[in-house]
Amino acid sequence: MASLPQVPAARRAPFLNSSSFTSSHKFLSQGRALFPCCYSRRRPAFQVKAEASPISQQEGSGRRQSLVLGAITFFGSLSHANSASFAAEAKKGFQAVLDKKDGYTFLYPFGWQEVVVQGQDKVFKDVIEPLESVSVNMVATGKQDVRDLGPPQQVAEALVKKVLSPTSQKTKLVEAAERDVDGKVYYTFEFIAQAPNYTRHALGAISIGNGKFYTLTTGANERRWGKMKDKLHEVVDSFKIFDV
């Protein structure tokens, strides 16, 4: 069965390393060490020039303008409809994120603030309880399906131990499962990471699409897990990727 390659300690993601999320090494920046990269060559752009019509240029220009405006309106509305259909369904107490460039969407609890963390695509966290957070990472991969990496238990175990927590923390994988949403396979898992001065209870979701391996992780301080677990499950369950 396939397994995640060995990752040097310096390359591990610091999701659970500190409440401030500071570190000099990030999971995304070292993604090529985890999965084979895939590249695609862009086809050269080309232009088509049309000869002027022998009929009235003014009439032809008017027709072209009408056609262009109609096309813009049509495709604009179509694009908006498609984007809206991919957006995570809004729920009371949550806000939605829709990343049309990288092809994913999810919900996060209202009140969490977006912060910039080097090497991570998106991070939102509670400013009062900094261990309450959600982050999304991506690395390039040649795999087509998350099942190509191995069964849920095995993949989640490797991620938790080698990527999502430093070696100084004691980790425990609580459970891992596979689910299918609109034909796309996701692995979801729950784990606990114990540091010298705190314990974090976390949830994760992973999937593969668009030539990328996506990881969403969310969690809270163990002492607040009972209060936050339902919200955090909503975050994980709302995570979806779509073709871009």
**For position 45, what pLDDT does the model report?**
36
How confident is the model over 229-244, as pLDDT tens digits? 999 999 999 999 999 9
Residue 243 near residue 103 (C-beta atoms within 8 A): yes
Prediction pTM value: 0.69
Q: Is 114 helix (H, G, I), strand (E, B) or coil?
A: strand
**For position 119, what pLDDT does the model report?**
86
Residues near 144 by Cβ (< 8 Å), separated by ≥ 6? Answer: 208
Q: Is 67 helix (H, G, I), strand (E, B) or coil?
A: helix
Show pLDDT as tens, one digit a residue, over the chain (244 residues).
444 533 333 334 444 333 333 333 344 334 334 433 333 333 333 333 333 333 344 444 444 444 444 443 343 433 343 444 455 567 899 999 999 999 999 999 999 999 999 889 999 999 999 999 999 999 999 999 999 999 999 999 999 999 999 989 999 999 999 999 999 999 999 999 999 999 999 999 999 999 999 999 999 999 999 999 999 999 999 999 999 9
Residue 155 near residue 187 (C-beta atoms within 8 A): yes
**For position 75, what pLDDT does the model report?**
39
Q: Could you give the domains of the chain?
A: 9-38+91-241 (3.40.1000.10)
Residue 149 near residue 143 (C-beta atoms within 8 A): yes
